[in-house]
A and B are shown apart, each in its own frame.
Chain A
Amino acid sequence: METKAHIEEHHVGYTTYVLVWLALMVLTGITVWVSYLHFGVFNIVVALLIASIKASLVALYFMHLKFEDKTTWIFVLYPIVLLALLIGLTAVDVFFRTTP
């Protein structure tokens, strides 16, 4: 896993940044709107889904993850897997609990 110091110029124009910003604002609006609808348990799923999309946009463009090498990607993806485990396995506990 030799990480070469590969320094290239990534010209992401202002247009991209503005578009990403607009997307974030729209998604924030959707989050607020969705909170007035009632999907039961799926409210959480929807909220987390939108939040994840926003976080990904920030990481990919604002934090330049899109242009990073494999090692960096591994270090980003692994914690996401762990977070999924934390939420997923805790959910296994909560949803399969038998109330006495």
Chain B
Amino acid sequence: MANHTVAETIHVPYLEEKGILSWILSTDHKRIGIMYLVSISTFFVLAGIAALLVRLELLSPGKTIVDAHTYNVLFTFHGSAMVFLFIVPGIAASFGNFLIPLMIGARDVAFPRLNLLSYWLYLLGTVIILFSLLKPADTGWTFYTPYSIQTGTDVILLTFGVFILGFSSILTGLNFIVTVHKLRAPGMTWHRLPLFIWSSYATAILQLLATPVLGITLLLLIAERVFGIGFFDPAKGGDPILFQNFFWFYSHPAVYIMIIPAMGVISEVIPVFARKPIFGYKAIAYSSLAIALISFLVWAHHMFVSGMSEVAATVFSFLTFLVAIPTAIKVFNWLATLYKGSIELRTPMLYALSFIFLFTIGGLTGVFLGTLAADVHLHDTYFVVAHMHYVMIGGTVMGFFAALHFWYPKMFGKMYNEAVAKVAWFLVFVGFNVTFFPQFILGMEGMPRRYADYPPQFHTLHEISTIGSWILGLGILIMALNLLRSLTNGEKAPDNPFNSLSLEWQIPSPPPHENFEKIPHVTDWTYGYGKKNNQEG
């Protein structure tokens, strides 16, 4: 495209240097992004295996493969690892690191060493959490008191690991905020920023401001276990619900730390494969910020049946409805972008469309749960499990897979097999729905979450759900094999295989170490698709 100055000379690609030290000591944002990508994918697989075992146990009533305690350990590991090791760092740390400097026309993030420190802290946290598996916790990923104070399993090590991970998240957020403020290329005004940058910026605000509260909460929990101070113990004048207030003050915004980056990915993928400018650019950009603001006001919708005050519950139920508005704004704008576009169903687009469909189901069932009266019935049932998996897999993971297939050629300079990728997508989409849709019905019928056993009337639906988990697992396996095999056997990727106008596609694949030969001068936004000279090229 004519708007940006394209790098003319190719420097050494960032992947060129070999050896483990060249990776773990690298301050190159692209390498740090790749290290995050490898790490989070590893834990996605491990936590996914735990999920398959959980589903296998639920295949039939009574004991199928493991006893009740092991079952509790399995879902605790599944939940904690998926949340804290995969989905919270997730797209923000992996693709955020790789893409933010490329998209805004910078050579690196604002604080490259701090960035590497964030990754090391992440690694340290994961090591501590893996050590906790010697005496694995059985509290679920939410560590609710009083059980987390009383259980004999190793809650301290697990929560301390999460505490360390929090610092990684805070420093990453800080780094990204400063980068977006300070390192934008000349001409890259706020309203020309790619929407992925807006969403990363909103996410960074949440990481920076919400995570400290989680850190404090977990420290209080550890202090409570070690010294028995009584913050959460009514016998000593404490309040068990205080833990839930603190925990969800972080963990509701954390839901948006998980989902907003995926929304950014969708905003990048949709216009490229619909060959149309994004509809409602400013509405999408500001709705990211709106979510970042409102998400701090709704935390207690997780606590309606905890014994909190009814006045507060009513207020929080109402406030929860507000957060649906900016989310719906995004969905409407994506649909409007698709309208009359010349849509090309490449793999990233298939995942992006799946995101819109599944996330809408996940989001709307969230409104059911935010409704005070409905929640009293649905709380802690499989309806909640289905809802949060529709948001987290149907939303974030679909966005993650879309990003993976969209930027893979840029990251690794190779193309994957498109046909195989589409087969994998089909299995993932079908498998996901077969696994989780029956869980909505199970929840409505009263099946509680986190139980190793169930009465016979729930058998059929549980069976369908477990079979679905096998289809989903197979789909992800095929996708992973395809992507791994293409690292060595894939065709060489062109610089811009999908004809995107964004800055990162105007440089070689894989990008050189310094990103840009000359810092580009930006004269337009990145969504000018469908104009004559851009249509095919």
The interface of chain A, by Cβ under 8 A from chain B, is 1, 3, 71, 75, 78-79, 82, 85-86, 89-90, 92-98
A89/B209 contact (C-beta < 8 A), A1-B190, A3-B181, A71-B181 known: no
- Does B239 sit within 8 A of A, measured CB to CB? yes
Question: Which one of A71, A86, A93 lies within 8 Å of B309 (CB-CB)?
Answer: A93
Judged by a CB distance under 8 angstroms, whether B311 is at the interface is yes
Q: Is the Cβ of A93 less than 8 Å from the Cβ of B312?
A: yes
Given A90-B242, A93-B245, A85 and B308 contact (CB-CB distance below 8 Å): no
**Contact among B190, B241, B296, B309 for A92, CB-based, below 8 A:** B309
6 cross-chain CB contacts under 8 A: A1-B190, A85-B296, A89-B312, A92-B311, A93-B241, A93-B309
| A82 and B296 in contact, given A71-B181, A90-B245 (Cβ under 8 angstroms) | yes
Main secondary structure of the interface of A (DSSP, over half): helix
5 closest A-B pairs (Cβ-Cβ)? A96-B309, A96-B311, A93-B312, A97-B309, A92-B312
Q: Which residues of B contact A85 (CB under 8 A)?
A: 296-297
> Which B residues from 174 to 205 make CB contacts under 8 A with A?
177, 181-182, 190
Is B344 in contact with chain A by the CB < 8 A criterion?
Answer: no
Q: Which residue of A lies closest to B298 (CB)?
A: A89
Residues of B within 8 A of A86 (CB): 213, 245-246, 249
How far, in whole Å, are A85 and B312 apart by their CA atoms in the complex?
13
> Total A-B residue pairs with C-beta atoms closer than 8 Å?
46
Main secondary structure of the interface of B (DSSP, over half): helix
Q: Does B300 contact A (CB under 8 A)?
A: yes
B residues in contact (CB < 8 Å) with A: 177, 181-182, 190, 209, 213, 239, 241-242, 245-246, 249, 296-297, 299-300, 307-312, 315-316
B486 to chain A, nearest CB (A): 42
- Closest chain B residue to A1 by CB distance? B190
Given contacts A89-B300, A97-B307, 6 further A-B contacts (CB under 8 A): A86-B246, A89-B315, A89-B316, A90-B245, A92-B315, A98-B310
Given contacts A93-B300, A93-B309, A96-B309, contact A82 B209 (CB under 8 A): yes
* B69, chain A: closest CB distance, angstroms: 32
Contact residues in B for A97 (Cβ distance below 8 Å): 307-309
Q: How far is the CA of A96 from the CA of B239 in the complex (A)?
A: 14
Q: By CB atoms of chain B within 10 A, which of A1, A92, A93, A97 has the most?
A: A93
B177 to chain A minimum Cβ distance, whole angstroms, is 8
Q: How far is the CB of B140 from chain A (nearest CB, A)?
A: 22
Is the pair B209, A96 in contact by a Cβ cutoff of 8 Å? no
The smallest beta-carbon distance between A72 and chain B, in angstroms, is 10
Separation of A75 and B204 alpha carbons in the complex (Å): 12
Chain A residues near B241: list those with CB within 8 A.
93
Q: Which of B209, B249, B299, B316 contacts A78 (CB 8 A)?
A: B209
Closest to A5 in B: B182
A96 CA to B308 CA, complexed, in Å: 9
